[in-house]
Amino acid sequence: MSVVEDVAITLITSDRRGVLTVDSLTQELDPTIGQKPSDHCAVVGYIGSEPAYPIVLASLKTLQHRGQESAGIATFHDSSINVRKGMGLVSEVFNEKSRGLDSSLGGTVGIGHTRYSTAGSKSMENAGPFLVSNSMGHIALSHNGEITNADRLREDLMKQGLTFLTSTDTEVLLLELSREMSIHGISSGVRIAMDRLKGAYSITMMINDRLFALRDSLGFRPLIIGRFEDNYIVVSESCALDVLGAEKIRDVNPGELVEITPNGIITLITGSSKKLAHCMFEYVYFARPDSIIDGIEVFHSRIMLGRILAEEHPADADVVVPVPDSGRAQALGFSNESGIPYSEGLIKNRYSERTFIMPTQQSRTSAVKMKLNVIKSEIKGKKVVLVDDSIVRGNTMNHIISILRKAGAKEVHVRIGSPEIVAPCFFGVDMKTRDQFVANGKTTDEICNVLGADSLGYLSIDGLVRSIGMKREDLCVGCLTGEYPIPIAQDKHPRQKELESFTG
């Protein structure tokens, strides 16, 4: 059961059981899926001549992969902002029982949000979009990313008398923007707030019936504008535009604030950063392969990851097998480059239950086995190249290697389409502590022994950069190097290496 609420500026939270921390019934937090890195959120904004609700809803469904904990839609109608949001998948929050939403969420301007928590707890109070009222009227905001100095800003705002209802950094972001805009106006207020806000933020925002989009000055997270007929939409990934039959106009530039009107796009603030820090994981794992982000097709990047991986770490093998679904494009690239045949040797069951809620280790282990199964004819007696996009803790890979060997694999050679993850991310990815990472403090041979593989090869950072097709200085690779594009509080993360040249 999902937890759902309807609000019109005043947030009213309810649940028939009184429980406000229920996550999606299909959220996967088990050793097969849940130890992949996860992105923070998806955001959507729409303005046009057609009703906003069905268009925002279709966009959120397309972007469901970016967050599965909660979903919400806000629209401006009858002089107020109305929002419906709840815990669970988009289809759980907005289902057949949610009739009448076309009227309760009326209007031709709206924003949407799906959430994966990287700052703040998994609860209804932290579900987006977020709402506030000030002298300008009603403001609603959806946010993808993470504010690295949110704790300090929260303290400053509380000293000024502001009250917080949630534990998320998005509320800090909204109140900081709201305060400065009410004093200085929209353009000047946002510019002042941006000087104080540190970290990653791609934002869709309504101020009454006006729609805005904002991207942080380094461009950590994507934000893309499209159009169909006389309707405009801004989304986290271009695949949502394709579903709507919309034409991509352009990406919101890093550091840019735009107002999107029924007549076109108005740039209110122009980005001025000397450096960029696009998250490399968008191209490795997060984004859908059919998306184009900052001019680069994600699928092509992943094919190149596999090709260059095969150049750097060739293998004497009979078959290339991907870890579904994340390793498919990389495995195809590896196969194309190496000439080793590609095969779907592993099948994933997408409908099995979550293992973390099961009562015993035996039942959890049985459920893990239900997640993946081997096509024995493709594995037995063969030397297998097992390809995936990344390794975090290593539990998942260890389990997969084990089931391949039980199916008769002669050898298992693991190839990873990204470099070793050795450091936390503070910009919207749920990798926060170094003890999570199997690669931290270990050599490749030591990691190989932990995994139980015959050999192990990671893509180099140079190979990663070549695959994506951007300059290295325009990518954030902090989780691979411990060198971050903006300073992180030293008392919080003492092993961080600061790169002052990335600021400004």
In a domain, 31, yes or no: no
Whether 269 shows a pLDDT value over 80: the answer reads yes
Q: What is the DSSP string of 408-448?
A: T-SEEEEEESSPPP-S---SSBS---GGG-TTTT--HHHHH
In a domain, 286, yes or no: no
Taking only the tens place, the pLDDT of each residue in 430-452 is 676 676 789 988 999 999 999 99
- The pair of three-digit structure tokens given for residue 331, joined into one six-digit string: 């495995």
User: Phi and psi (nearest 5°) for 279?
Assistant: -70, 120
CATH at 353: 3.40.50.2020
Helix, strand, or coil here: 150? helix
Q: What is the DSSP string of 180-230?
A: HHHHH-HHHHHHHHHHH--EEEEEEEEETTEEEEEE-TT--S--EEEEETT
Say whether both 309 and 413 belong to one domain. Answer: yes
pLDDT confidence band for 166 (50 / 70 / 90) = confident
Taking only the tens place, the pLDDT of each residue in 4-41 is 455 544 332 333 222 222 223 333 333 334 445 444 58
CA distance 17 to 265: 45
Range with the poorest average pLDDT among 15-29, 34-48, 127-141, 152-166: 15-29
Q: What is the pLDDT of residue 393?
A: 83
In a domain, 50, yes or no: yes
Whether 301 shows a pLDDT value over 70: the answer reads yes
Say whether both 349 and 225 belong to one domain. Answer: no
Say whether both 139 and 237 belong to one domain. Answer: yes
Radius of gyration of the chain (CA): 23
Whether 100 shows a pLDDT value over 70: the answer reads no
Q: What is the pLDDT of residue 20?
A: 26
Say whether both 237 and 316 belong to one domain. Answer: no
Tell me if 143 sits within 8 A of 202, measured CB to CB. Answer: yes
In a domain, 236, yes or no: yes
Taking only the tens place, the pLDDT of each residue in 386-428 is 999 999 888 889 999 999 999 999 999 999 999 999 988 888 7
Say whether both 264 and 303 belong to one domain. Answer: no
Percentage of the chain lying above the pLDDT 70 cut: 80
Say whether both 348 and 427 belong to one domain. Answer: yes
Say whether both 329 and 472 belong to one domain. Answer: yes
CA distance 400 to 386: 9
Q: What is the mean pLDDT of residues 297-309?
A: 98
Average pLDDT, the chain: 85
Q: What is the pLDDT of residue 120?
A: 43
Say whether both 258 and 356 belong to one domain. Answer: no
Which of the pair, 500 or 236, is modelled with greater confidence? 236
Taking only the tens place, the pLDDT of each residue in 226-262 is 999 999 999 999 999 999 999 999 999 999 999 999 9
Instruction: Specify which of 119-128, 143-152, 451-460, 489-498 reaches the highest per-range mean pLDDT.
Output: 451-460
CATH at 197: 3.60.20.10
Q: What is the pLDDT of residue 354?
A: 40
In a domain, 128, yes or no: yes
In a domain, 129, yes or no: yes
CA distance 44 to 48: 14
Taking only the tens place, the pLDDT of each residue in 469-491 is 999 999 999 999 999 999 886 43
Q: Is the pTM of this model over 0.75?
A: yes
In a domain, 254, yes or no: yes
Q: Among 273, 308, 341, give the residue marking a domain's end.
A: 273
Whether 496 shows a pLDDT value over 70: the answer reads no
Q: What is the pLDDT of residue 429?
A: 77
Q: If residue 169 lies in a helix (H) or strand (E), which one and from where to where?
A: helix 169-184
Q: What is the pLDDT of residue 501?
A: 33
Q: What is the mean pLDDT of residues 293-297?
A: 96
Told to judge if 479 belongs to the known catalytic residues of this protein, a careful annotator would answer no
Tell me if 485 sits within 8 A of 278, measured CB to CB. Answer: no
Q: What is the pLDDT of residue 68?
A: 85
Say whether both 202 and 348 belong to one domain. Answer: no
Q: If residue 72 lies in a helix (H) or strand (E), which one and from where to where?
A: strand 70-77
Say whether both 228 and 166 belong to one domain. Answer: yes
Say whether both 311 and 190 belong to one domain. Answer: no
Whether 276 shows a pLDDT value over 80: the answer reads yes
Q: What is the pLDDT of residue 121?
A: 45
Q: Which domain holds residue 415?
A: 296-481
Which of the pair, 188 or 275, is modelled with greater confidence? 188
Q: If residue 172 lies in a helix (H) or strand (E), which one and from where to where?
A: helix 169-184
In a domain, 21, yes or no: no
Say whether both 264 and 306 belong to one domain. Answer: no
Count structural domains, the chain. 2
Which candidate in 41, 239, 279, 425 is catalytic? 41
